[in-house]
Chains A and B, each alone.
Chain A
Amino acid sequence: MPRERRRWLRFGRGAFVLPPLLLIVVLVLVPIVFIALYSVGLRTNIPGQPTPFSLADWKDFLFGGGGAFRGRFVYSMEITLFVSVVTTLAAYPLAYFLSFVARRHRYALLLLLLAPFFTSYLLRVIAWQIILNNNGVVNSVLWSLHLRPRGNAVSWLIYSNFSVALVLFYTWVPFVALPIFVVLENMDHRLTEAASDLGASRTATFMKVTLPLSLPGVVAGFVFVLIPTTGEFIAPLFVGGPNNQLFGNSIQAFFSDSPDWNYGSVLALTLIVVVLLLMLVFGRFLSTDLRAGPRGNP
C-alpha cells in the first residue's frame, strides 16, 4: 500500500481540529494582530488619516502624558490583588467545610454554592446596585430601624471602592472554593490520621499537614480569580463611581464614547500582555491532564 495513503489515514482524524482551529485563528489571533497594528499606528479607523509606524501612543501611555491611564492600571491591579487575596481567604473555610464537615452531602452543597454562578452576572450586579443604592435595601433597612435619619444614606455603600470590591468578591468566592475543595478531597487522609496519631492537636494538624498540602488548590483558586478580574469592567459600570472605573472601562471608552482606536488598542494590547504574563507565571499551578492520550492507545 502506498506510503502516502497510509500516512493520510493516520492523520485523517486529526484533521477534525482544523475547522475549530480556523475559527480561533480568524476570530482571536487575527483580531489581536490588528490590535497590535492599531497600537503602533499602522492602521486607523479614521478614513483618510495617514498610517506610518509610530510608537507615540505607546510612549504616551507608558511614560508620557497618559498618567491617568497608568494610574487607572495601577488602581485596577490593586483592586484585583486585594479582591483575589480576600476572596481566597474567604473561600478556604467554605471548601474546608464541604470536605471535612459536610461529608455526605458535600456534592449537593457544592452545587448549592455554585448555583448562583449560573444565573446572569449582569442581573446579580444590578441586584447589588439595588441593595446598596442610596434608596436601596440596606439604607432603607437602616432607616426603618431608625439607625439613621431617613434620607441620610451611607455614602461609601455605593459607587465606591467598597461596592466594586464587594461585587467582585461576591462573584468569585464560590469559584475559588472549587479547586481548594478538589485538593482537599484528593488529599491523603492517612496523613492527618498519622499526625493525630503522633499526638498533634487539631490546630497543629491543620497548620502543619492540611494547610500545606492544600496550598496547590489555594494557589489555583487565587489564579482563578486573579486573571479574569484583571480585565473586569462590568461591575464598575453599574456599582462604580467615576473614581472606581477599572482599566477595562478605559478600553471600553476608547472604542465607544471617544473613539481613538489607536490609543485604545495600546491599552487593549497591554491588558492582553499582562494577562498572558500572569498566566505564564501562575499557569503552572493549574494542573491539566488534557495532554494525556486516549486510553489504550499505543
Chain B
Amino acid sequence: MNKGEVRLVSLTKRFGDFVAVDAIDLEIPPGGFFSLLGPSGCGKTTTLRMIGGFEQPTSGQVLLDGLDMAGTPPSKRPVNTVFQSYALFPHLRVFDNVAFGLRRQRVGRAEIRRRVGEVLELVQLGALARRKPGQLSGGQQQRVALARALVVKPAVLLLDEPLGALDAKLRRELQVELKQLQTQVGITFAYVTHDQEEALTMSDRIAVLNRGRVEQASSPRDLYEEPANAFVADFLGVSNLMEATVLGPSGAGVEVRLGDGVSVEAQRGELSTRGPTKVVIRPERIQVEAAGATGPNRIAGMVTNVVYLGSGLQLTIHLAFGRTVTALVANTDEDTAGAWTPGTPVTCHLPSTALRVLANTEVSAPAPEAGRVGGSEPATHVP
C-alpha cells in the first residue's frame, strides 16, 4: 500500500491576503525523484511543508497513496523531511539523532542498533556515530539528516533545498550521491530547489512553479526541449527568447518574422499560433558559420563578446535585425578559441527544427493536465 504516491488536488495556501500556493494540481509518481523547481517565493517550500504537515492548506487536499492527509499531524504521516538547516539535535550524538525516530516508535534496542548502523553505512558515515553534530562538516551533517529521515522508512522523503549551504564542488558530489541513493532505496523523493541545473541533473520529473502555480510538470528533457511558455523556457538554461510574429504556414512549420526583413521557418512548438508571440532556441543549437554563408534560416550578425568556458565558448552575437543571442560553440580543436573574437562578423544558422514557437499569452494558465504521466502537455491557455 505504501507506494509513496502523492497527489495534490487544488491545493491552496493563503497567508492573509498573500496567495502563496494557488490551487495547484500535481501528481508525484511513486518511487521516482521528483523536483519542485522555481524562483524564491514561488511557493515550492510552502507546498512541501503542506505535504509534510507543517502547514495546513487553506483549501484543497494532500493525498498520500489515496488517503487524505487533512487533520493528520506530521508525526503520523508516512512522510519525513530533510530540512534546509538540517535541524540536527546538537545535544545528541549522531547515533542518537538517527535513532530518534525509531525510539519514538518504540523499536527494540538491538534492532535500533542494526538499522542505524545500516543507514549510516548507506550514507557513508559509519565511523562518525559517536560524534556530535557540531563536530561534523556541512556535508556530513547533511548526510546525518538524510540518514535520520530514511531510517524510519517513510513512503515519501521530502527534501527542502538540502544542498543550499554547501560549496559548488561538494554540492555536485552530493547531487550524484543523492540520486544514487534514491535509486538504491526506491523511496519517492520530493526535492525542492531553485537551482535548475540541480533539478535537471537529478530528477526523473520536474514541476516548475512560479507565483504559486505550476507552469509545467514533465521530464527534464521535455521541459528543456519543449518549454510550454516563456517562463519555463527562460528559467531552464539560456533560452534566447525573442519577440516574433507568426505569419502563416510554411513548409513543415510556420513562417516567423523576427524583424525587418528577417523571416525564418520554425518547426517546433505551438504551430497553430498566429500573430505576435515569442520564440526560443537553445544556445547549443545555434550554428555559428562564417560571414556570408547562405541558406534558409541564416542571419548575419557580429560577435560582441566571448566567454571561454573551457569545454566550449559562449558567444554573444548581435544579429542584424537588432536582437542579441547567446550561442554555445564546442571547443572541438585548439583553434576554436581563436576563431571567434569580438568584432568578428558571422552568420547565425537557426535550424528550423530547433526553433520553437511559444503560445501567445502573457500569463500561463494553470495546467490541469500538467501532471499526467508520459506526456509533456504544455499549459493550456485561456483566451
Contact = CB atoms under 8 A, between A and B. Distances in A.
Interface string A87-129: 0000000000000000000000000000000000000000000
B15 A1 contact: no
10 contacts: A1-B56, A1-B57, A1-B70, A1-B71, A5-B71, A6-B56, A9-B56, A10-B56, A296-B85, A298-B15
Interface in B166-205: none
Nearest to B46: A298
B137 to A, nearest CB: 22
Contacts of B57: 1
Main secondary structure of the interface of B (DSSP, over half): loop
Contacts of A296: 85
Contacts of B15: 298
A10 B70 CA distance: 15
Nearest to B85: A296
Contacts of A298: 15
Given A5-B71, A9-B56, A296-B85, 6 more contacts: A1-B56, A1-B57, A1-B70, A1-B71, A10-B56, A298-B15
A5 B73 CA distance: 13
Main secondary structure of the interface of A (DSSP, over half): helix
Interface of B: 15, 56-57, 70-71, 85
Interface residues of A, number: 7
A5 B15 CA distance: 17
A7 to B, nearest CB: 10
Interface in A276-298: 296, 298
A178 to B, nearest CB: 30
Nearest to B61: A1
Contacts of B56: 1, 6, 9-10
B76 to A, nearest CB: 14
Nearest to B56: A6
A6 B14 CA distance: 13
A269 B149 CA distance: 59
Interface in A1-24: 1, 5-6, 9-10
Nearest to A5: B71
Contacts of A9: 56
A223 B85 CA distance: 41
A6 B13 CA distance: 13
- Leading 10 A-B pairs by shortest Cβ distance: A1-B70, A6-B56, A1-B71, A298-B15, A1-B56, A9-B56, A5-B71, A296-B85, A1-B57, A10-B56
Contacts of A1: 56-57, 70-71
Nearest to B55: A298
A6 B56 CA distance: 7
A21 to B, nearest CB: 26
A74 B154 CA distance: 73
A203 to B, nearest CB: 47
Nearest to B83: A296
A296 B84 CA distance: 11
A242 B96 CA distance: 67
A190 to B, nearest CB: 30
A5 B57 CA distance: 12
B20 to A, nearest CB: 9
Nearest to B73: A9
A91 to B, nearest CB: 38
A143 to B, nearest CB: 61
